[in-house]
Amino acid sequence: MADSIRMSSTTEYWQGISDDQTNVLIIGIDFGTTYSGVAWATPYDFEQEQINLIHSWPGMGLEKGKAPTELYYDDGTIYWGYEIPPDADPVQWFKLLLLKEDDLDNELRSSEYVRRCRRMLHDTGKTATDLVADYLRLLWEHVIDTICRDRGDAAVDGMKFHVVLTVPAIWKGYARQRMEDAVGQAGILDTRPAGKTELSFVTEPEAAALATLYNNPNPSKQGDVFIICDAGGGTVDLISYNVTRASPVVMEEAVEGTGGLYGSIFIDEAFEKMSQKRLGPKWSNLSKTGVKELVKGEWQQAIKPQYKSQANSKRQYTVGIPAEAFNSKAELTDSSKEPHIKMGRFHLTGEHIEALFAYSFEGIDTLIDEQIREVKKKKGLDVTDIILVGGLGASPYLYQHLKDRHGPSKINVLQSTGTKPWTAICRGAVYKGFYKALKADGEDNRLLLEPPIQIASTVSRFSVGLCFSQLYNASYHKLEDRYWDDKEEVYFAGRQMEWYLRKGNSVKTLAPIRHDFYLLFNKPKTEWTRELYLCNDVEAPTRREDNVIKLCDIRCNFASIVDSLPDYTSPSGKVFKKFSYEIVMIPTGASVDFQVYYKEKRLASQEVKVCFD
């Protein structure tokens, strides 16, 4: 796949870089739907090929790469992660509620997990942003405490923080804004003696790709195409990259990514349903604590993550059933049907276990097959590699299943060893943070040095544009859009769309897209608001129709230049001020940013704001 780009090669990046830029602590946060992880490093760590992972979590004796993204509110006390009591009913999946209901696909919207989370949201009296903020606050306190214990309070206090948060590739701007609001509420951006904490975002697939390429020993070639399969707890998300240059590695997103509800939680759900059916009336004896003990014991900790398919193997896997399920010792053994129960334990065969994985594997197979077909259809290229990341991505059974399935097609299936697939995204966020640290000061935000791995372009998931008016043309415009303009004293056609991005198009990262507009007005007007729209259809319409949905407002205060604006005189002699400007969209990978230019000079950021509903 990728050339073995050793982290030690980054030593040259720090030669000649100012002390101010090297005295930084990069913290990558993978805030996931079901589990969250954190990685961190200093420039010195980076030179020494060391990315530090948070392994120890409150309430958990064993070391774990991630903590559950769960909250429990009890009489003014908030419990999180592994601290939550076993008999509690925690709030889960609240990350998904940062999205508007209409932006969840039908499968997610109707999911019992999402519906239950909405009910609990109502019960707690909090917003989704509040829940995310509560979780991030507790996570952040633990992270900083862990880093201080490792490096010392004084050393940490003296470093600037750069926090990189991962977000799904499909998120729209308002969801990222809500996440940013939650980060602020959590206190992560609070003032520190060392200076302002910088916050940036990276898409989860890009972070996974960065982490994978840094640690992959196989050389990449121009024209290689690989699929990142992020198989997590709730969702499985796929994205494809095409290598357009091998050294340094430059990649472009090949086709639009896909995803579905096929994560490991559904394998647990299948195990729970199997257990309930097998135990029959005994199931009602189990308390909430007993059910959690059954699912989160040997099954979740050992069997599910470590299972390997063994053809014709007679090996059995045992799972202890809580004693409260049985009314007498005579019930501890039951061989009347499968799986057998012996001495209060399920005895599972490989056939039983593989049946529990079947739903998730079938969904993953479908997603991968679709990506392979789309890459061939739209790019004329063959997929060369499938790279597994995420919790389920660490499964040796999934790895072998995909190798057996795609080996005849000569597609390599790659999987990092140990906990690496589990933590790839937060590690990738740290790599992205160091690229940000290499940027020059000033408006152009240029890279001082070229990073060894770059994502050059992404594929737009939807069309984004502005509504505007243009001179009415009876042969082109609809009569219903025609209106008389009192200022220019001509007919205009309203509801026309100017699209910055079109769904499915390749979007060059950091390549500005510009459109010209103008405004006629009487003093003392010094502000305007333009509405930004999106369309999810494959073909975006030329005018604003029902399938064009408002995304946000762009608000501009031009008081600083209003006196210098030229006059415009109408045919009847009325005089107005004319503000001719450009609205510039800059794709950044995780989002798009908008800027306003007047006479090729950018208006200050405090004069232009993007406001989501």
For the domain with range 460-612, which CATH number is right: 2.60.34, 1.10.3470, 3.30.70, 1.10.10?
Answer: 2.60.34
Q: How far apart are CA 54 and CA 57, in angstroms?
A: 8
Give the C-alpha separation, 611 to 613, whole Å.
7
The pTM for the full model equals 0.84
Among 258, 265, 277, which Cα is nearest to 360's? 265
Beta-bridge mates of residue 387: 228, 414
pLDDT of residue 590: 66
Query: Token pair 């707890």 is at which residue?
Result: 233
Question: CB neighbours of 334 closer than 8 A, spacing ≥ 6?
Answer: 340, 341
CATH pick for 219-242+254-415 out of 3.40.50.800, 3.40.50.10490, 3.30.420.40, 3.40.640.10: 3.30.420.40
Beta strands in 13-135 (DSSP E): 24-30, 35-41, 52-53, 67-68, 70-74, 77-80, 91-92
| Burial track 205-226 (b if 16+ CB lie within 10 A, e otherwise) | bbbbbbbbbbbbeeebeeebbb
C-alpha 232/C-alpha 235 separation (Å) is 6
Cα separation, 221 vs 607, whole angstroms:
46
pLDDT, position 294: 93
Q: How far is residue 601 from each of residues 53, 284, 309, 598, 606, measured CA to CA in Å? A: 43, 70, 63, 5, 15
Q: How far apart are CA 348 and CA 128, in angstroms?
A: 40
Looking at this protein, which amino acid is placed at residue 102?
D
Look at strands 482-485 and 490-501 and give their pairing.
antiparallel
H helix and E strand count, the chain: 15, 31
* Bond before 205 cis per omega within 30 degrees: no
Share of residues in the chain with pLDDT > 90 (%): 58
Do 7-207+422-456 and 219-242+254-415 fold alike per CATH?
Answer: yes
* Distance of alpha carbon 555 from the chain centroid: 27
The listed CATH number (3.90.600.10, 3.30.420.40, 3.30.300.350, 3.40.710.10) that belongs to domain 7-207+422-456 = 3.30.420.40
* Mean pLDDT for back-to-back runs of 10 residues, the chain (613 residues): 32 51 88 93 84 90 82 92 90 90 80 84 89 97 96 93 90 88 96 91 86 72 91 89 87 89 91 95 93 90 89 85 93 93 94 95 96 94 92 92 94 71 86 73 48 81 92 95 96 95 84 91 88 91 94 91 93 94 84 87 88 79
Query: CA quadruple 322, 325, 331, 336: dihedral positive or negative?
Result: negative
Q: Residue 49: what pLDDT?
A: 77
The Cα–Cα gap between 113 and 269 comes to 11
Given this model, what pLDDT does residue 246 score?
83
Per residue in 433-472, pLDDT tens? 887 766 544 444 444 456 677 888 888 888 999 999 999 9
Alpha-carbon distance values, 222 to 167, 214, 250 (Å): 28, 17, 9
CA distance 585 to 534: 14
Tell me the CA distances in angstroms from 119 to 92, 128, 133, 482, one per residue in order: 11, 12, 19, 47
Q: Where are the domains of the chain?
A: 7-207+422-456, 219-242+254-415, 460-612
The count of other CB atoms within 10 Å of the CB of residue 336 is 6
The predicted pLDDT at position 30 comes to 95
Condensed to tens digits (0 to 9), the pLDDT of residues 528-583 reads: 999 999 998 989 999 999 999 998 899 999 999 999 999 999 999 999 999 999 99
Take residue 88 and report the two structure tokens written for it. 């509690």
Q: Where are the alpha helices (DSSP H) in 239-306?
A: 264-279, 288-294, 304-306
Looking at residue 21, its pLDDT comes to 59
Residues 602, 595: contact at Cβ < 8 Å? yes
pLDDT at 288: 87
Tokens of 423: 């933590």
> What tokens appear for 586 in the block?
């800059």
